[in-house]
Amino acid sequence: MPLSTADRSVLEPAIRRLNALRPLSPEARAALEYAMLEGLQRAGAGEDLISEGDPVDSVRIVLSGWLCRYKTLEDGRRQIVNFIFPGESCDSHAFLLSTMDHSIATLTPVVYAEIKRARFDSLLAADRSLAEAFLCEMLVNEAIQREWVINLGRRAALERVAHLFCEIFERLRPVGMVDGNSCAMPVTQTDLADATGLSVVHLNRTLQELRASGLIVLRDRTLVIRDIDALKSTALFSPSYLRLYRGGREHG
Amino acid sequence: MPLSTADRSVLEPAIRRLNALRPLSPEARAALEYAMLEGLQRAGAGEDLISEGDPVDSVRIVLSGWLCRYKTLEDGRRQIVNFIFPGESCDSHAFLLSTMDHSIATLTPVVYAEIKRARFDSLLAADRSLAEAFLCEMLVNEAIQREWVINLGRRAALERVAHLFCEIFERLRPVGMVDGNSCAMPVTQTDLADATGLSVVHLNRTLQELRASGLIVLRDRTLVIRDIDALKSTALFSPSYLRLYRGGREHG
DNA sequence: CGGCTGATTGATCCCGGTCAAATGAGGTGG
DNA sequence: CCACCTCATTTGACCGGGATCAATCAGCCG
């Protein structure tokens, strides 16, 4: 459903993030903000925003809430292949391939801006910085996807869960969604299991191990990182793939 | 080292592949061919074309040979996150992020075309079909990366290796690198293990299982698929993510 | 209160890792 | 041509991380 009124501040995560990837010209920023405000939408928790096989003809930019990309095997095994956080966009350029090869579900209530393909194309055509910002977003997304491959392929359960927490924390930070050493963690253990390729039972035991070693507190849908350095080192976490600092600006 | 002379036919895989993703205008095709011919390079087997942390300022389009993208953890664990086959490009737009977050190694001798960033940018700026073709390539690459996450997260060893073989076969087919039901497989079992997240020992035993059940023959660096349907079904392989057929052209 | 979903625990099993050694296949130098 | 080295493949034995199955517990809602 469209939002009738909204002030510009809901757009902040998206603008902040894109601007960190590529400094946006004031005109590009204004044009994008205008387009986003016109396409504001809400969705409840646990909805499929779009499913495998569905046609794509717009871009959605998430403004608040968590989503996940996932795929399901014929026999029901599910794998979450990525999370989508505020400021990130769902399907930048995906319409070039016409249909989705995976599904996107909301994990919490979500506010997002939907921009139709033609509109999006003309926004990007009008401003190079904007086009580059969205390209950078795709590139970072690819890098995250690669890191997930390593996580699943070569890290043990404890490292794997620790790594996921580090990544989530560092991805939420630049959009202002962490508070000191804690952040929201509005997902079930089943979701975390599906994201880490573990069974729910073993994920639960792994969480207990992380708690027992004093690395984290996870309660009431809130993650508190008690010892970030220790967590990063048990995760073998090295954040460069997230491009958090001066994301490639030196060539820009 | 640059190739002194070369006829246009070496470019065929790349042109064929890009053209399948987006029909290229004749002018775009000619301009791209010209740029590629000027930047032809060779590399031997087992070289790192580029390493994690290296600056990027060009695009490389592979014309023959196999490469892989990989990352290594501090303690030496290695994960191959993707293969790169003839017709595919290494780093389209990657220069936007300045540096590599992973490494690319040759698995065989390789011929590729290197195009400097500025040149590449102006090629894409001059022709929309070309820009879209490279965007599609990125999108397909992302989809493959996601499928690898599922492969490592939710498929058992046998399914996983079968899936990898299905994917390789289907990626090689459109560039004319399969011969009936067989294709080259110029990699060691260590490489296959690093790509599937298995140990070499277990990968070896998994191969034997695939051979014993009559699905494949793998000998002398050649893979023969004896029963493609059975292989696909043990792999739970569904090729839509590869966009092999009319890759998104209906919206183009 | 009953039903539902999510978190937790216990018991058992087996897939796949690890360690170690053997075998094979080139390649090279004497 | 053979001795030797290196690298890839294969095999054997053993172990343990994580899956599976099943039950219990804790909130939450109607």
Low-confidence ranges of chain B (pLDDT < 50): 1-4, 247-252
Contacts of A192 in chain B (CB under 8 A): none
The alpha-carbon gap from B132 to the nearest alpha carbon of chain A, in Å, equals 8
Is B196 in Cβ contact with A140 (below 8 Å)?
A: no
For B134, the token pair is: 């490279």
For A76, the token pair is: 């029901």
Q: Is B218 helix (H, G, I), strand (E, B) or coil?
A: strand
Q: What is residue A245's predicted lDDT score, i.e. its pLDDT?
A: 77
Q: Are B117 and A157 in contact (CB under 8 A)?
A: no
Contacts of B248 in chain A (CB under 8 A): 96-99
Would you write out chain A's pLDDT as a tens digit for each of its 252 residues?
A: 444 456 789 999 999 999 999 999 999 999 999 999 999 999 999 999 999 999 999 999 999 999 999 999 999 999 999 999 999 999 899 999 999 999 999 999 999 999 999 999 999 999 999 999 999 999 999 999 999 999 999 999 999 999 999 999 999 999 999 999 999 999 999 999 999 999 999 999 999 999 999 999 999 999 999 999 999 999 999 999 999 975 444 443
Return the beta strands (E) in chain B as ranges: 40-43, 48-50, 58-64, 67-72, 78-84, 103-106, 110-116, 178-179, 182-184, 216-219, 222-225
In degrees, to the nearest 5, what angle opens at C-alpha B1 toward C-alphas A250 and B5?
A: 120
- Chain D bases closer than 7 A to any CB of the protein: 7-13, 17-22
Residue A212, C-beta contacts closer than 8 angstroms, at least 6 positions apart: none
The alpha-carbon gap from B120 to the nearest alpha carbon of chain A, in Å, equals 14
Full strand arrangement of the beta sheet holding B58-64: B40-43, B110-116, B58-64
Q: Strand C neighbours with CB under 7 A?
A: A 188-190, 200-201, 204-205, 207-208; B 156-158, 197-199, 201-203
For B121, the token pair is: 């940018």
β-strand A78-84 against A103-106: which pairing, if any?
A: unpaired
Q: What is residue A91's predicted lDDT score, i.e. its pLDDT?
A: 82
CB-defined contacts A:B, below 8 A: 150
Distance between CA atoms of residues A199 and A204, nearest Å:
9
Q: What is residue A8's predicted lDDT score, i.e. its pLDDT?
A: 86
Give the CATH superfamily of A8-147. Answer: Jelly Rolls (2.60.120.10)
For chain B, the structural domain boundaries read 8-147, 156-242
- Location of structure tokens 């952040």: A183
Q: What is residue A5's predicted lDDT score, i.e. its pLDDT?
A: 52
Which one of 1.10.10.10, 1.10.287.1120, 1.10.20.140, 1.10.8.50 gives the CATH number of domain B156-242?
1.10.10.10
Is B250 in Cβ contact with A94 (below 8 Å)?
A: no
Q: Kindly identify which residue of chain A lies nearest to residue B197, measuring between CA atoms.
A: A153
The alpha-carbon gap from B137 to the nearest alpha carbon of chain A, in Å, equals 10
Question: Exposed e or buried b for every residue in A117-147, given b needs 16+ CB within 10 A?
Answer: bebbbebbeebebbbbbbbbbbbbbbbbbbb
Q: Which of B72, B120, B150, B190 to mutate to test the interface with A (most CBs of A within 10 A)?
A: B150
CA of A196 to C1' of C30 (A): 56
- Give the helix/strand (H/E) hosting A206: helix A200-212
